[in-house]
Every structure is written in C-alpha cells, then in structure tokens.
Amino acid sequence: MTAPQQSTAMPTAEQHGIRAHSDGAGAVVPVQTRSERFCSADVADFAPVNGREHEWKLSPVATFADLTGGELDGSRTPVESVEAEGVSVSWIGRDDVRIGTAGLPEDRGSANAWSSFGEAMLIAVTGEEQKTASVTRTALGSAPRAAHTVIEAAPNSRGLVVLRGTGDARLVENVEILVGEGANLTVVSLQEWSDDSVHLASHFARVGRDAKLKHIVVSLGGKVVRLNPSTHLAEQGGDVEALGLYFSDAGQHLEQQVYVHHDAPHTRSRVTYKGALQGEGARTVWIGDVLIGNAAVGTDSYEQNRNLVLTDGTRADSVPNLEIETGDIEGAGHASATGRFDDEQLFYLMARGIREEEARRLVVRGFLTEIVQQIGSPELEEHLIAALEAELQGS
C-alpha cells in the first residue's frame, strides 16, 4: 500500500516528464496527486521514452519504440461492425467537439496516437432498449498505426459495445467513452491478437450524472498488450464497474494501469482484475489507482487484483494505490493477492482421481469465470470460456 505523498510544492512541468527525468535520478519530487499528472494531446510535449519513467518502468519499452516515438499511419482502420438498432458506427473529423472531452494522454504513446490519427471512429449508442453491437478489427498489419475511437452513450440509453482485435497489429490508440446522464453502458475490449502483435491503448471514460459504466478488459492474445483505462466519475451518482481478465502465456506481456477518479458526491467504483500466468517469461502488470477527491463525499470504492501463477518462470506485478482527500466517504478498500497453483494442489486433485490437465483447467476456470460471468452477453461468455480452454491447452 502506498500512502499519499505529502508535499507543499506545486508540481512543475519538469516533474511531469517534459524534460528528461527518471525515477532513479533522486532529486525529482514525485507527482503529488494522481489527477495532477501531466497530460497533453501533443507528442512533442513528452520527452522520448527511456523506460525509467513511472508510467513505463514495468513495460518492455524497447519492443515498441516505433509506437511511442515513430511515425504512425493514422488512416482509418479497417473494421467489421455488427450494428444493432440504436448503435451506429461512423467517422468524425479531428475537430469534432466531442474529441478530448473524456481525457487527454498521460504518456508519450498515447500522445503519439493522438497527434497522428486522421479521423476518429464514432460508436453512438441511443435508445433505452438494451442491445449489443460489436466492432472487430482484423489483420491491421505489421506497420505501426494510430487510431482514435469515441463511444458515446446518449442520456438514458442502454447498450453493450464490444471492441475486438484479432490477427496482426502494431497499434497505439485512444478510446474515449462518454456516458451520458442516466445511461447504462457496457464496453468490452477484447484483445485476441496474433502472437507477434503489439497493442497500446488508453481508454478515457467520463461518466455523467447517475450513469453507469461497466468496462471490461479481456487480454488473451498479443506479444505486448498494454491497456490503461481511466474513469472520471465527474458527476453525482456516477458508477463504474471496471473488470479485467488476462491470461499470459510464455513470453507474453499483458499490462493494465487502471485509474478511477471519484470527483463528485455519491459515486461508486468497483475494480476487479484477475489474471493467470503460464509459461517461461509470462508477464503481467496491474496498477490500480483510485483517487477520491475533495468533492467526492459519500464515495463507495473497492479495488482488487488477483493473479494465479500456474508455472515457474512467470512474473506478476500488482500495485494498488488509494488516495483519499475527503474523510466523509462510505467506504474505500483495496486488495491484491498473487497465488500459485503448485504441485501440492495438483497432487491433492489427482489423488481424487482427477487427471492433470483437467485439474489445471478446473482451477483456472474457477478462478477466471467470476469475471466472464459478469459480461452480460451469453454469446461472448461462451466464446471466452472456449478461448480460455484453448489457452490452457496451448502449453
């Protein structure tokens, strides 16, 4: 647990990485409050990435220097969309008023994508009936690309939007999620990329008054997937359920830096991320920041991360941070645990007649289906259970 840092100095631009700096340099005053972290839509405002910055220090930055520093193809990404009544997919210009209203980049990769995209994909959800729509991006190729997506749920609308990625990709992107007053939106980001793919994404959600967002990140495929969702509970009564599920195989790096900002009274958040690691070099990172601001009286918040280690040679980082600026809250807690499925557990199950492969499956399925069951789409749940079975068979 990290205690809130006390400092009377106002943060300066230098402290935020505009000039080259590093956590190891010694003289740097840490950023005081999570919401005061430097952000900018212009890549030129960020120093080149060296891997020692707090936001990059757990990431394999050398494997995607082209995405954080190089030129990106910002043309429209080919998509296959399954629309539903009340969900439409279109393209909007950079000057659209909605762009930039949910949040701005906090790292150079995100800013590079923002500076490079040509048009943004708009997924608009309207109407009070529940419906499901999906947007799939397949085989984006091996050249570095930028993308920008805006998902807008109109006031009082309801819907589930699936963003799915398959095949090859070297993609860095930003996704803005605007949840209008009283709306109830579920967004599932499903990463099933090919083994060589790299995908960096920042999601910025703004949740309106009495609105509810369920945000689910499922990362299964890709060499490096780093998806950082942040949610701004900007208005009274806002609610976010942030769920994540990841399965890291040998040589795979799956990362998520989750941030929830309680910034209005009576807001609620639940963050639950669960991951499994299997094989030499399987790597996961979870950082969970929750900031309960001054205005957020009556906040109810809980975040947790659980990791299940299936073999030797893996590494799971899990860092929960909780920062509270008001004493008048309902509850705030956090938990993190990384457990091992070890030989004694295997022996126990096998001593009851259960075959080895079935024993592993039993444990992993039991562990991860808690998240799967909360998605709310039977088809997608079935698909994910099958995908998890395949992951288990894969080693």
Partner 1 sequence: MSVLEIKNLHVNVETDQGTREILRGVDLVINEGEIHAIMGPNGSGKSTLAYTIAGHPKYTVVDGEILLDGENVLEMSVDERARAGLFLAMQYPVEIPGVTVTNFLRTAKTAIDGEAPAIRTWLKDVRGAMSNLKMDQAFAERNVNEGFSGGEKKRNEILQLELLKPKFAVLDETDSGLDVDALKIVSEGVNRAHQTTGLGILLITHYTRILRYIKPDFVHVFVAGRIAEQGGPELADRLEEEGYDRYQVAESAVVEAAAE
Q: How many CB atoms lie within 10 A of CB 338?
A: 18
Q: How many CB atoms lie within 10 A of CB 347?
A: 10
Alpha carbons 87 and 227: distance in angstroms, whole number? 24
Element (H, E) at 67: helix 65-69
The answer for residues whose C-beta is within 8 angstroms of residue 9's C-beta and 6 or more apart is 29, 32
Alpha carbons 39 and 257: distance in angstroms, whole number? 15
Task: Output 226 or 360, the one with its CB closest to partner 1.
Answer: 360
CB of 249 to partner 1, least distance (A): 19
Task: Output 56 or 367, the one with its CB closest to partner 1.
Answer: 367
Task: Output 44 or 362, the one with its CB closest to partner 1.
Answer: 362
The residues that touch partner 1, with contacts defined as CB under 8 A, are: 308, 339, 341, 343-345, 347-356, 358, 362-368
- What tokens does 166 get? 């398959």
CB of 351 to partner 1, least distance (A): 5
CB of 368 to partner 1, least distance (A): 8
The answer for residues whose C-beta is within 8 angstroms of residue 132's C-beta and 6 or more apart is 84, 159, 160, 161, 162, 377
CB of 354 to partner 1, least distance (A): 5
Task: Output 195 or 358, the one with its CB closest to partner 1.
Answer: 358
Residue with tokens 């967004």: 187
SS3 category, 33: coil
Q: Is 151 within 8 Å of 179 (Cβ atoms)?
A: no
- Residue 240 backbone dihedrals phi, psi, to 5 degrees: -130, 135
Task: Output 94 or 355, the one with its CB closest to partner 1.
Answer: 355
Task: Output 24 or 352, the one with its CB closest to partner 1.
Answer: 352
Task: Output 19 or 355, the one with its CB closest to partner 1.
Answer: 355
CB of 360 to partner 1, least distance (A): 11
CB of 355 to partner 1, least distance (A): 5
CB of 377 to partner 1, least distance (A): 22
Q: Is 185 within 8 Å of 159 (Cβ atoms)?
A: yes
